[in-house]
Amino acid sequence: MTMTRRSFGKGRMAALALIGALGLGTGFQAQAFDGPKRPECIAPAAPGGGFDLTCKLAQTALVEEGILSTPMRVTYMPGGVGAVAYNTVVAQRPDDSDAIVAWSSGSLLNLAQGKFGRFDESAVRWLAGVGTSYGAVAVRADSPYKNLDDLVQALRKDPSKVVIGAGGSVGGQDWMQTALLAKAAGIDPKKMRYVAMEGGGELATSLLGGHIQVASTDISDSVPHVQSGDMRILAVFSEERLPGDVTEDIPTAVEQGYDVQWPVIRGFYVGPKVSDEAYNWWKDAFDKLLASEDFAELREKRELYPFSMTGDELDAYVKKRVGDYRELADQFGLVK
């Protein structure tokens, strides 16, 4: 029988369809994602701060819940308070389905100001928000500042004589919460003496070493040092006092007469070209964690409070928050 080109083409198409249906693979069929082979959490700062805490929470929970059979490693990628990690993932590892990256509200504030370079908030796939902390002002246990008003009065007298350290540069979230405090107290934030550092670990070391007098930080970074007796928290930037053996005794800025609130959301994103299959695997993993009472206990032990959001809902939340932060930064003359 003579086979025409048309009949040959039909036969070949039928054969390819059969191969695909049988799952034999043609080179065009997407491979199912059944979990990361070498799971990694990137903490975009030096060890010891909030990004480290966020990664280690996932590292512990994903194994304890039986979601990962292979231990997750934590990789530290400091630089620009998240900028280096963001640019590395987007430009060099966009389809790495094994890696998740920690982010916080500070990351979104920096994105709002263009501090992550040419990439904006649409450059990655926002995966999960897993908890919230709150900003705080901390001093050494032997500091002459016993409460928030002591600090404010010293700043009013001569802001240049109070050395305030924080993770990140001017315009970052640690700077912003002290700028809001200064504004509430009638002090020009631009007159504050501010020392920028790379992450909460370096910040705590500098405060306890006496290199700075005040740390603009968050509650989750600071509580372990309060428990050790080395640090005192003057105020937490929450609406009301936080539950917990240590935190219930820490006054809010609001109750001390300064209406400043600063929640710090913590979570994860993945690269922009991570497949839908891999993205959905990770999303389902975090949905399972966020519904778990055991995860809630792990989160609470790290002084993180409930915040649960994944997928499209989180993506919409992130983009709205970046817009809000852009307006806030504009008020302080930070957006060019």
Classify domain 40-133+264-331 at the CATH superfamily level.
Bordetella uptake gene, domain 1 (3.40.190.150)
* Mean of all residue pLDDT scores within the chain: 89
Q: Tell which residue, 119, 56, 57, has the closest CA to residue 82.
A: 119
Q: Is the predicted pLDDT of residue 1 greater than 70, yes or no?
A: no
Is residue 36 scored above 80 in pLDDT?
Answer: yes
pLDDT digit string, tens, across residues 172-197: 899 999 999 999 999 999 899 999 88
Q: State CA 225 to chain mean position distance.
A: 21
Neighbours of 181 (CB within 10 A): 26
Instruction: Considering the domain delimited by 134-263, tell me its CATH architecture.
Output: 3-Layer(aba) Sandwich (3.40)
Asked whether the domain spanning 134-263 has the same topology as the one spanning 40-133+264-331, the reply is: yes
Residue 49 has pLDDT above 90, yes or no: no
Q: Give me the pLDDT at residue 23, please.
A: 44
Question: What are the extents of the domains in the chain?
Answer: 40-133+264-331, 134-263
Residue 220 is predicted with a pLDDT of 85
pTM greater than 0.95:
no
Two tokens, residue 94: 């966009």
Given a contact cutoff of 8 angstroms between Cβ atoms, the answer to whether 53 and 302 are in contact is: yes
- Label the pairing between strands 163-167 and 214-218: parallel
pLDDT tens, 205-224? Answer: 999 999 999 999 989 888 88
Instruction: Classify residue 184 by burial, with Cβ atoms within 10 Å: 0-12, 13-18, 19+.
Output: middle
Mean pLDDT score, 4-14: 42
pLDDT of residue 169: 78
